[in-house]
Structure 1
Amino acid sequence: MKKFVDAHPEFNKMKVALYSQCLGGISQYAAISKHPELFENVLCMCSPLVPNMTVILERFAALQGVDQYLELVDLELLKLGGFPAADMSGALWAPHVKLPVLMWQVRKDILTTAEDSQRTFDLLASTDKELYWIEDTTKRFEDGYNWFGRHPEKVLSYLAKYMS
């Protein structure tokens, strides 16, 4: 997709920012790690709710009472053509992300931990980064994914800072 944008006769003249949330954020971090040259023209990145899949699976399995089967879950991910949970971690790829980053997380997210989210944020190589905590909820999907839509001011002012 990035190559398409860069080659497009109209899009390639535009300023570029990234909005990559959850597993898409992990994929974006990995892409930046593997092909940094493709991201040299990116001015900033919004990176909400980027997880560590091992923690998500551990929390979800514990909620379902099947935490003794995590090794089998990893095997099923591989059989489906996916990656092991350990490879799906924002923290794994974060040290390669040098562009300005605005990240937000649900502090009491039922599917991950604040410590894990903080660790990913701390590992970002960017010297210009900000982490915003969404408080008073445990609802990743309802309140985390919808935070920007309900409270656009912070994200829009962040984008204006880098895109103006």
Structure 2
Amino acid sequence: MTNTAPAIDPNTDTTLDALAQGLAHSSRSPLLRTPADTGLDFEEVTYPSSDGTPLEAWFIPCAGSGRLIVSMHAFGFNRYGFPAHLEPWKSAFGPGNDTEIDFTLDYKILHDNGYNVLAFDFRNHGLSGAANGGLASNNKFEARDVIGTLEYIRSRPDLAGMTLGVFARCMGANATFRAAHAHPRAFDGIACLVAPLLLSPRAFLEATLEAMGLGDKADEVDRRVGTIASVRLEDGKTSRWAPSVTMPTLTYGVHDDRITRPDDLEEAFEAIGAEQKSMFWIRDTTRRWDGYTYFQRSPERVLEWFAAHMQ
């Protein structure tokens, strides 16, 4: 007798397909602000990823400073942030995560504390080039953009000698972890990393499906993602690549974040290979967005980490 999978009703099938398509493709969001909105001078720059994909970035100079922080954004975001106060982006990440994320406020804080800043758009995001047929891997393809950014910095005489730190959120952190695994020499000399809101794509999928009452369908959606993108979500598990991260690393997250679960970040933190590492939780909220705006509200702990390691 042959065992067959239970039939999936048409409405559920449509929902699962939409989730798979959304996870397999990077959707662009617009840049609604620039550093000029916070009074910062900046330079528009473009340079190639390690595979040649053109990347767009802002370089924000800080006169007299020899310290540079590279800022990396999350999935679906861009160097400006994310326009979650507008549709269709307002509905993209669930209840509560529906207010504007403006990273130019972060850049103002970093600049005013003595840091140059380079913020770029990942491939298939913002204004950077299309690549891989618009497919997203959450770390594999995007890791090439991390490497290309480090190569660009080292190619500029005015930046090459600077003390370098990285501020990489969510997918930006995943891509950094994967890049450190694939090209460890590229991270020689990087002073430290701040990697908030670490999130494995499979953990996001499982939390999303559970909230919809479809918790038993994670394997099916992951299978569908694989048939679209040739990459399974499990391959993006953050803890898989974390042992290659050896620079001092700080991470934090929203403990009761509705689109993930605490053990995913905790597992990633435990796996980080750095001798000097630290993590903390943001509590009393279920809004992931409170993690993205934490630095704007309470910059002290992050600034202390950068200051301690970027002498």
Quickly name the TM-score band, shorter chain normalised: over 0.9
Q: Summarize deviations over 1:68-127 as a string: whole Å, max 9, x none.
A: 332332234334436311011211100111110010111111122222211110110111
The farther-off stretch of 13-22 and 107-116 is 107-116
Amino acid at match of 2:290: D
Identity %: 28
1:107 equivalent to 2:217? Answer: no
Of Structure 1 and Structure 2, which has the larger fraction of its residues in helix? 1
- The total of aligned residue pairs comes to 163
| 1: CA distance, partners of 2:209 / 2:198 | 19
| 2: CA distance, partners of 1:69 / 1:119 | 23
The farther-off stretch of 113-122 and 81-90 is 81-90
SS across alignment from 1:17 = strand
SS across alignment from 2:269 = helix
| 2: CA distance, partners of 1:15 / 1:51 | 28
The counterpart of 1:147, out of the listed 294, 304, 308, is 294
**Structure 1 length normalisation: TM-score?**
0.93
Give yes or no for contact 1:23–1:88 (8 Å, CA) kept in 2: no
1:12 equivalent to 2:191? Answer: no
Q: Which has the larger radius of gyration?
A: 2
- In the alignment, which residue of structure 2 is the partner of 1:118? 266
Give yes or no for contact 1:33–1:96 (8 Å, CA) kept in 2: yes
Give yes or no for contact 1:46–1:102 (8 Å, CA) kept in 2: yes
- In the alignment, which residue of structure 2 is the partner of 1:84? 232
Amino acid at match of 2:259: L
| 2: CA distance, partners of 1:60 / 1:96 | 29
- In the alignment, which residue of structure 1 is the partner of 2:219? 71
| 2: CA distance, partners of 1:150 / 1:161 | 20
Superposed displacement of residue 67, structure 1: 2.9
SS across alignment from 1:103 = strand
Structure 2 runs not aligned, ≥5 long:
1-148
Regions of 4+ moved over 6 Å = none
| Two-structure CA RMSD over aligned residues (Å) | 1.4
| 1: CA distance, partners of 2:225 / 2:164 | 33
**Structure 2 length normalisation: TM-score?**
0.50
Which structure is higher in RCO with an 8 Å CA cutoff and minimum separation 6?
A: 1
Structure 1 runs not aligned, ≥5 long:
none
| 2: CA distance, partners of 1:55 / 1:44 | 26
Q: Summarize deviations over 1:41-62 as a string: whole Å, max 9, x none.
A: 1000000011122111001011
